[in-house]
Amino acid sequence: MDSSAVALHWLEATQLSFQYHKSLADRAIVQVSDEALHRTLDAETNSIALIVQHLSGNLASRWTDFLTSDGEKPWRNRDREFVDANVGRAELLATWDAAWNQLFTTLAALSPTDLERTVAVRGESHSVPLAIQRSLAHASYHVGQIVILARHWAGEQWTTLTIPRGGSAAYNEQSWGSASFFAPGSARG
């Protein structure tokens, strides 16, 4: 496989990873009440709404003109992202979806040769792959926060987003025809 094909596969895998993480957050957010979106665990923690505001601002800034301008845009007010705007669910999620759409549109437009370029994030030079991985790691971190808060606020009404606790053997059986990934008699089974 030539380097161009590897680059395309890497870009596709990266896009799938971002899509997976957005899906986790979306499926968690839908499970909490409008009030719980704005609830915090204590005075020093962020609500789901604040995390959504922050990640939306970050993604919009980083992925607008990704290849041609610094990832930290002059129009972004990061500090304001951590002040609850007290907007309703529809407005909050419209901003969220717009930011993710900016990311997905930009990622889809990148070519293998774009991966050889350098971009700026807060005045620091990053290779395009590093800037992309930095964004993926940041988004994944905050999606994890959203999921754990949603899980907490949903309580017994929570529907798991992945394999349910105690359900690995059944999942493996359904997926591979046995309760273990490694077949009996294999080097590891």
In degrees, rounded to 5, the angle at the alpha carbon of residue 18 between the alpha carbons of residues 162 and 175 is: 35
Q: Where are the domains of the chain?
A: 3-158, 165-189
Exposed/middle/buried for 134, CB within 10 Å: 0-12, 13-18, 19+?
A: middle
Segment 40-46 mean pLDDT: 96
Instruction: Indicate whether 85 pLDDT > 70.
Output: yes
> What is the percentage of the chain residues whose pLDDT exceeds 70?
94
Instruction: State the Cα–Cα distance between residues 169 and 31, nearest whole angstrom.
Output: 26
Segment 104-117 mean pLDDT: 97
Instruction: Indicate whether 72 pLDDT > 80.
Output: yes
Assigned architecture for domain 3-158: Up-down Bundle (1.20)
pLDDT reported for residue 179:
57
Entry pTM: 0.90
